[in-house]
């Protein structure tokens, strides 16, 4: 289909776009390079004001709803969640507008020089390759710190959310950022290499699948360019005997069903100690049975369609293969036909052995895998038995268990008695095959700057 808006609820193609020609891409990069020469000299105050203005635009009730509907139309996110996403984008803009000057301030260090310090200077054009599942948030969490630091950005968004991509560029231009500072490139995946190898592009960030990350990192490595990668995840959600079971169940359902289960940091593997496993499963299945599936524009809907037919097909095949290898379906386990789109029933699988293909896979949709273990040590061993290491959620009120979980779980973040989530104030990213580098926090703004040492005598 190429670059197009295809409503995943109805499967209707609403808008199509031709990919930019190589000449048009060159024109965009020319504009970005020209803009950087002057933009890097703008004051931190001016940049902060433009970010504040972007936040104001996003928070306007009518605009917030407009952008939320656009997300729901293009990738099927429930409207309530889409509106929350727009507001979170405003938050990250305000956060870096308020904290950017602190994060980028010169750091004096006493040495044998008369003066020595570290300063932070922008690199230039940064390529952002972004996914469809959080079509506004993923872009703004890159753009806010990158633009605050004085870089300029070019966005290659997922091909199924072109209208979101264009809207984001318009918002930043309307907010006051000079022309060329942030541009959307409507290009195919095959054109990314051409852009990344351009000498004017200094670095790249990608959020997406493991194969996409491997491809981008290989190209960037051949050019000796910095990258930040946030890739897949199969996050564990551990429930131990001292946990508040009611809170754990409620959060477990939310953590698995957010964005119709299409989130890298969604809880995907639920690891429960035997002592409370029966109670947990009874409550977990009962809550799944209450989930409302349907039109994502209806604010009563809990989960909508998957973003594309290919995602639905992959998920359906994963569950079928898991069943053939002995997995037991406690609820769901098949497509939902109430509407013509890409719908899959909320599903819980158990009795999953280590030789089952789904044991080490990421399920990108409303499918939960439940494992029973005898004790804490077995829970941690199972949680770490994954090629991924993005986030982990663990539920216990025992301080000693909390300490053990914090120190031994292999993940970029560990949340105790809470759902894994991104927060502008905290660094976000993974280890192992979940990627490298960090977004957000002070660490995120320092990923794409020249950390320059100054020595004067």
Q: Would you list the DSSP string of 105-162?
A: S-EE--SSSSEEEEEEEE-SEEEEE--SSSTTHHHHHHHHHHHHTT-EEEEE--TT-H
Q: Which residues make up the CATH 3.40.309.10 domain(s) of the chain?
A: 235-423
User: Per residue in 46-93, pLDDT tens?
Assistant: 999 999 999 999 999 999 999 999 999 999 999 999 999 999 999 999
Q: How far apart are CA 338 and CA 304, in angstroms?
A: 11
89 as an active site residue: the answer is: no
Class of domain 235-423: alpha beta
Mean pLDDT, the chain, integer:
98
User: Per residue in 196-238, pLDDT tens?
Assistant: 999 999 999 999 999 999 999 999 999 999 999 999 999 999 9
Report phi then psi at 163, rounded to 5: -70, -35
Q: Is the pLDDT of residue 280 over 60?
A: yes
Of the pLDDT bands very low, low, confident and very high (cuts 50, 70, 90), residue 1 is low
CATH among 3.40.605.10, 3.30.460.10, 1.10.3720.10, 3.40.50.300 for 3-231+434-456: 3.40.605.10
Q: Which residues make up the CATH 3.40.605.10 domain(s) of the chain?
A: 3-231+434-456
- What's the mean pLDDT in 138-146? 98
Q: Cα-atom radius of gyration of the chain, to the nearest Å?
A: 23
Q: pTM higher than 0.95, yes or no?
A: yes
Beta-ladder partners of 270: 237, 370
- Render 341-365 in DSSP notation, one character per residue: SS-B--EEEE---TTSGGGG----S
264 as an active site residue: the answer is: yes
Q: Exactly one of 264, 363, 410, 447 is catalytic; which is it? A: 264
- What's the mean pLDDT in 371-396? 98
Q: How far apart are CA 63 and CA 299, in angstroms?
A: 17
Q: Which pLDDT belongs to residue 119? A: 98
Q: Exactly one of 74, 81, 85, 230 is catalytic; which is it? A: 230
Among residues of the chain, what percentage have pLDDT more than 90?
100
């Amino acid at each position: 289909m190429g670059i197009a808006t295809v409503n995943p609820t109805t499967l209707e193609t609403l808008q199509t776009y031709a990919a930019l020609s190589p000449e048009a891409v060159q024109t965009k990069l020319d504009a970005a390079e020209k803009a950087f020469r002057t933009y890097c000299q703008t004051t931190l105050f001016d940049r902060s004001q433009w970010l504040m203005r972007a936040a104001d635009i996003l928070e306007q009730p009518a605009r917030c709803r407009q952008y939320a509907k656009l997300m729901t139309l293009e990738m099927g996110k429930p409207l309530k969640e889409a509106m929350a996403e727009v507001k979170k984008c405003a938050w990250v803009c305000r956060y870096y507008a308020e904290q950017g000057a602190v994060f980028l301030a010169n750091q004096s260090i006493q040495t044998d020089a008369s003066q020595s310090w570290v300063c932070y200077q922008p690199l230039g054009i940064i390529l952002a390759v972004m996914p469809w599942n959080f079509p506004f948030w993923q872009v703004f969490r890159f753009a806010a710190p990158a633009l605050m630091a004085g870089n300029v950005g070019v966005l290659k968004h997922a091909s199924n959310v072109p209208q979101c991509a264009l809207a984001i560029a318009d918002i930043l231009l309307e907010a006051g950022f000079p022309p060329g500072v942030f541009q959307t490139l409507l290009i195919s995946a095959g054109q990314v290499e051409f852009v990344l190898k351009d000498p004017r592009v200094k670095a790249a960030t990608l959020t997406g699948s493991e194969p996409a990350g491997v491809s981008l990192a290989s190209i960037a490595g051949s050019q000796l360019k910095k990258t930040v990668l946030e890739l897949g995840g199969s996050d564990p959600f551990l429930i131990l005997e001292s946990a508040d079971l009611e809170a754990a169940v409620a959060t477990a359902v939310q953590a698995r069903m957010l964005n119709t289960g299409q989130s890298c940091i969604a809880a995907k593997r639920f690891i429960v100690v035997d002592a409370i496993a029966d109670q947990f499963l009874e409550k977990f299945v009962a809550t799944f049975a209450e989930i409302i599936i349907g039109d994502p524009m209806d604010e009563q809907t809990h989960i909508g369609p998957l973003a594309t037919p290919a995602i639905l097909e992959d998920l359906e095949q994963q569950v079928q293969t898991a069943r053939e290898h002995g997995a037991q379906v406690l609820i769901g386990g098949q497509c939902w036909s109430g509407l013509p789109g890409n719908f899959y029933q909320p599903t819980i699988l158990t009795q999953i052995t280590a030789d089952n293909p789904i044991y080490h896979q990421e399920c990108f949709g409303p499918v939960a895998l439940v494992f029973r273990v005898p004790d804490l040590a077995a829970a941690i061993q199972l949680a770490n038995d994954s090629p991924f290491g993005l986030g982990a959620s663990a539920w216990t009120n025992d301080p000693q268990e909390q300490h053990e979980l914090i120190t031994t779980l292999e993940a970029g973040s560990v949340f105790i008695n809470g759902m894994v989530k991104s927060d502008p104030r905290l660094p976000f990213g993974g280890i192992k095959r979940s990627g490298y580098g960090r977004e957000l926090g002070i660490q995120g703004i320092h990923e794409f700057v020249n950390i320059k040492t100054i020595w004067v005598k």
